[in-house]
Amino acid sequence: MSGDAKSEAARRRTFAVISHPDAGKSTLTEALALHAQAITSAGAVHGKSGRRGVASDWMEMEKARGISVTSAVMQFEHQGVVLNLLDTPGHADFSEDTYRVLAAVDCAVMLIDAAKGLEEQTRKLFDVCRHRGVPVITFINKWDRPGREALELLDEIEREFRLKPTPVTWPVGMAGHLRGMVDVRDQDQMLRYTRAPGGAKEAVEETVSAERAAAEEGADWVQATEELDLLRETGGVHDPEEFLAGKTTPVFFGAAVSNIGVRLLLDAVVDMAPAPAPRELEGGGERPVDAPFSGLVFKVQANMDRSHRDRIAFVRVCSGVFERGMTVKQAATGRPFATKYAHSVFGQDRTSVETAYPGDVVGLVNAAALRVGDTLYTERRAVFPPMPTFAPEHFAVVRPVDIGRSKQFRRGIAQLDEEGVVQVLVSDRRGDQAPVLAAVGPMQFDVVKHRMENEFTAPVRLDPLAYSTARATDLEGADALNRSRLVHGEAMLRVRDSAWLGLFPSRWHVSSFEREFPDLPLETLIAAHQ
């Protein structure tokens, strides 16, 4: 079995697509699946017929707003390699969900808008990748529209990320005037693209010789070849070891909505992205991929199937072989857990999975006992490092609109807390009927209202609180804060992990409390908006 795990892990690539909102992330996700022939037509179809929803955006709210508010998993094969693609929310308000996904992948594709370059959320997500040691492949998108110069974008990546960009493809023609693409590894030819109507199918590729490209494209071809010569002279050549060490990023150009340059990116994920490797354990040491089964719960999602109202825990297989029906242990409790209902997930669609290997993502259905960050294992115990929780900056009291729906209200709020949609805080002073929701960004509250009404049939009212800062404390610090009679703020217990948080209107109030109680602990939490 260990031999199976090792050989199967070698043909897995588990990666996420990350970007700033509106850079085209979900469109690229769909285009990659299209080129791998996992779907027959891409969802981001523009034109008179309108826009269909992409497979990875399955929630009604996502379809209505045209944004991703939750991560999604898609598995498909390309060139004999199994690809596990994790789409992530682009909006900064859902940073926690994205961080959890990045704990489950071995590589990331960073999407950059050709006109806008590096944007705020792109910078934050790259910092997370660097912190976790996740190598990054860069795809500069929307080259079929007016944008900045290619060399200027590379300079920005190197300057701001201290990361050497090494182009693997290079555009012939400026942004908005794309004439073709050169594979840097074979500069004796150019790829010319004919876009499919509406972008629903793969763009037709035509291979054009260098001589013909020079004759037909003139100055655009000359400029492209001169720029490539310059990059080669300055060391902008892909080196696999430097890439895996996080010192360089392979760069690709294209247009996801037109399916231009996507095949070359997909091939690169197969060729360049690392296969699953031994995983770091809490307290030191590693879990080899051929060790007995272990897995990390990185996401919990309810109501993906509205007809069954079920709950799925997404588990990244880290070592060994997962077999449906096997009994595993939950590291936090030591209790056994049966895996009778295990699914492979493609967007919202799912099929039963009998076997899974390192790098794969398994959806365990109705896994009520599992929480985000849990480690599962068989035989030799394993505990993976915990996932940090971001510091909330927005707070609101939540109440049911209809008191007769209190049971549904309590169940829904508990479910959203377990999924990590928001953090739920309670205190004796406020009572169970009026918990406080804590969020990184206000759009999380929109998700709560939408899901409480549509999934749990318990509409809610949110009353904002005048707090903007949270600090971790202990019971003694919580008592002192509450005795201050709201002079400084108030303390509440986070339901998910029974941790005390001090809530303050501002950092000035934090400083005031620290001056009055210098011996009591107040710890800064990880900030999502640094």
Tell how far CA 156 is from the center of its chain: 23
Q: 87 among the known binding-site residues?
A: yes
Tell me phi and psi for residue 262, to 5 degrees.
-75, -40
Distances (CA, A) of 445 to 341, 412, 432, 455: 31, 13, 19, 15
Q: What is the dihedral of CA 310, 342, 97, 40, to 10 degrees?
A: -100
The DSSP call for residue 210 is H
* Assigned token pair, 200: 């629903």
What's the CA angle centered on 344, arms 25 and 368, to 5 degrees?
A: 100
Q: 225 among the known binding-site residues?
A: no
Residue whose C-alpha is closest to residue 387's, from 496, 227, 249, 253: 496
Indicate the helix (H) or strand (E) that contains 300. Answer: strand 294-302
Distance between CA atoms of residues 237 and 193, nearest Å = 25
Amino acid symbol at 3? G
Number of H helices, E strands in the chain: 14, 31
Question: 203-237 b/e with 16+ CB inside 10 Å = b?
Answer: bebeebeeeebeeebeebbebbbebbeebeeeebb
Residue whose C-alpha is closest to residue 312's, from 347, 279, 336: 347
Number of residues that this document lists for the chain = 530
Distance between CA atoms of residues 110 and 27, nearest Å = 13
Q: 88 among the known binding-site residues?
A: yes
Q: What secondary structure, in 3-state letters, does 500-517 show?
A: EEEEECCHHHHHHHHHHC
In the annotated binding site, the residues are 87-91
In the annotated binding site for GTP, the residues are 87-91
